[in-house]
Amino acid sequence: MKQPSKAEQQIRILLIEDDLMVQEVNRMFVEKVKDFEVVGIAANGIEGRKKVKELQPDLVLLDIFMPKEDGLKTISELRQEQLDVDIIAVTAANDTLTVKKLLRYGVVDYIVKPFTFERLKQALEQYKEMYDKLRRNDKMSQDKLDEVMQQKEQSKHEQLPKGLHSITLKQILDYLERIDCPKSAEEIGSEVGLARVTVRRYLNYLESARKVEMELTYGTIGRPIQLYRLIKSKNTEVRS
C-alpha cells in the first residue's frame, strides 16, 4: 500500500471567521499544532461554502456570528449539500439553543471564545486521532467503531495536561459537586484556597473535557463574568 506523503498527512483546515484579528490568532494557533495547516480563510458563510468546494479541506473552524450568512446557516447548507467536511465550532455563542443546533448538525467539537491555545490544541489532537483511525480502516467492525466513538473520553483519562495535578483537580471537582449555583473562578479559588489564575486553568481543562459548563453574566459595571457549574450527567449520577 502506498504510504501517504508528508503533504497527505497534513490535516487541511479552512477558517470561517469575520474578525481579522481572530482570523490571525486562529491561524497562528492552528499552525503551532503538528500535522495541521490552514489552507484558506473566509470572512463569512457564503464565502466559506465556496472555499469548502474549491479547497476541499478536511476540517472547518466555524464562527457563528458573521455578516451575510451566519454559522448556523452555513453548516445547514454544507450538510444539505452533503459536502465531506468536518466542523469545529469556535465561537462566542454559548446559549443552549445554538449549542443544541450545532450538535445536531454534527460538529466534532465546540470551543467557546475566549479560549486558550491549549484548548484548541486538545480539540485538534483529538480530531486527528479520530481522523487517523477512520483513514486506516476501509470497513469498521463494532469494536473499531466503539474505539473511534470513545477515543475522546479515553484521551481525557490517559493523563492530565502538563502543569495540572490530579489532587488539585479532585479538590476543585469536589467543591463543584457540593454547590447548586454557578461560581466564578475567583469564588471557587477563595473557597478551595487556590489562586484565581490557577483555578481558571483547571476550569478550562474541565470545560474542554465537558465536565463543567460556563455561562456569562454581567456585573454592576457591565464587565462580563464567567461562571462555572458541574455538568450533572446521567453517568455521573450513577457513579455517585
What would the pLDDT profile of 167-178 be if each residue is shown by its tens digit?
788 889 889 988
pLDDT given for residue 86 in this prediction:
93
pLDDT given for residue 122 in this prediction:
84
CA 46 to chain centre: 23
**pLDDT band with cut points at 50, 70 and 90 for residue 3:** very low
Domains and CATH numbers, the chain: 8-158 (3.40.50.2300), 166-239 (1.10.10.10)
Q: Which of 23-32, 104-113, 222-231 has the highest mean pLDDT?
A: 23-32
pLDDT given for residue 218 in this prediction:
74
Q: What is the C-alpha to C-alpha distance for residues 119 and 168, in angstroms, rounded to an integer? A: 19
Output the CA–CA distances (angstroms, integers) from residue 189 to 97, 116, 136, 186, 226, in the order listed.
30, 20, 45, 5, 13
**Residue range 58-80, pLDDT digits in tens:** 999 999 999 888 889 999 999 99
C-alpha cell recorded at residue 137: 480502516
CA 149 to chain centre: 16
Dihedral (Cα; 50, 53, 22, 152), 10-degree rounding:
150
Query: Quick one: CA dihedral 231, 99, 106, 60, positive or negative?
Result: negative
What's the chain's average pLDDT? 81
What average pLDDT does the segment 37-51 reach?
95
pTM greater than 0.85 (yes/no)? no
